[in-house]
Structure 1
Amino acid sequence: MENLDQFDILIIKELEKDGRMAYSTIAANLKISNTMVHQRVNRLMEQGILLGIKPVINEKKAGYDWGSFTGITLNKDQDSTRIIEELKKIPEITECYYISGLFTLYIKISARNHEHMRKILYEKIDNIPGISKTDSIMELGCAFKRNVSL
């Protein structure tokens, strides 16, 4: 956290409460200037510490009742960049990680129902050249999700 000072952390914590909060409200809450908040948020975004301020969608309430965590084994690990670009084209894949162990990549998939999940896995993902196999664990609900503590 060498790039973050006390004000950066306090501003981030205010934004975590409500990403739509006006900078003037954050400034008033923290007893600092509106300009300081604006400059700090811009700097945090330029540095890549804040990746953006976006809505958090509840997939279940949006009609995506099925979720899976899916490990992907590649024929050749050096094909991962090309395969990741293909995975990005599938909108139901919301996260993709490089991992160690049995798989090369681990993805999070959201689907409307079991038939939709089957089509994503068998008709989209399995048709990407270079993917050897997938292994999915069905998600039964999120107990909690949060940012790292600053």
Structure 2
Amino acid sequence: MRSNGHLDELDRMILHILQEDGRASYSEIARRLRVPESTVRLRVKKLMERGVVRKFAALINPFKAGYSIVAFIAVDVEPSRVKKAAEELSKLPEVDVLGIATGAHDILMQVTVKDLQELESFLIEKLGRVEGIRSTETSILTSVRKWGYARVF
């Protein structure tokens, strides 16, 4: 990583390998990139310290893990409560991705639940308790054509 915080080509190549296989060992990465293992170890450590790599985790297909509903929910919130509502919503285990947005809605989020009953419960019991929410609009995915969260720019 350069001193200005930007990724260099080696960082990008390491990240690419880790995105393809998060279980790749430092020695395997070093062999593929033809650099010393110590270089890979140090680079990964720095990428983690700077927050580029947040954590290593399995990317699970929710449909094969018993979750049949992936939904996107647009949330409209009273202006003075947007940040607080986003903070509260981000703590809910069903929420995979959440952001404060521009445009027609204040907050956009992706949730994953087991079935329609669980979605209904989430909407009524959990979203319904968050102060300041004026309305929501829910769209359920009928199929997923691409599933991936990260890419190296």
**TM-score normalized by structure 2?**
0.90
Partner of 1:125: 127
Amino acid at match of 1:44: L
Contact (CA 8 Å) 2:95, 2:110: kept in 1 or not?
Answer: yes
**Two-structure CA RMSD over aligned residues (Å):** 1.6
2:73 maps to 1:58: no
Equivalent in 137, 140, 146 of residue 138 of structure 1: 140
Amino acid at match of 1:74: V
Contact (CA 8 Å) 1:71, 1:105: kept in 2 or not?
Answer: yes
Amino acid at match of 1:138: I
Q: Deviations over 1:40-81 (max 9, x none)?
A: 011112222222221111111111101110000002x23122
Point out 4+ residue stretches in structure 1 off by more than 2 angstroms. Answer: 145-150
Partner of 1:72: 75
SS of corresponding position for 2:62 = coil
Contact (CA 8 Å) 2:81, 2:131: kept in 1 or not?
Answer: no
CA distance in 2, matches of 1:35, 1:138: 46
Partner of 1:23: 26
Greater CA drift, 81-90 or 4-13 = 81-90
2:14 maps to 1:11: yes
Structure-to-structure mapping, 1:79-98, within 5 angstroms:
79-98=81-100
Contact (CA 8 Å) 2:96, 2:109: kept in 1 or not?
Answer: yes
Structure 2 unaligned blocks of 5 or more? none
SS of corresponding position for 1:132 = strand
Partner of 1:40: 43
Greater CA drift, 104-113 or 47-56 = 47-56
Amino acid at match of 2:103: G
**TM-score normalized by structure 1?**
0.91
Q: Percent identity?
A: 27
Contact (CA 8 Å) 1:126, 1:133: kept in 2 or not?
Answer: no
Instruction: State the 1:85 CA deviation.
Output: 2.5
Amino acid at match of 1:120: F
CA distance in 1, matches of 2:39, 2:106: 43
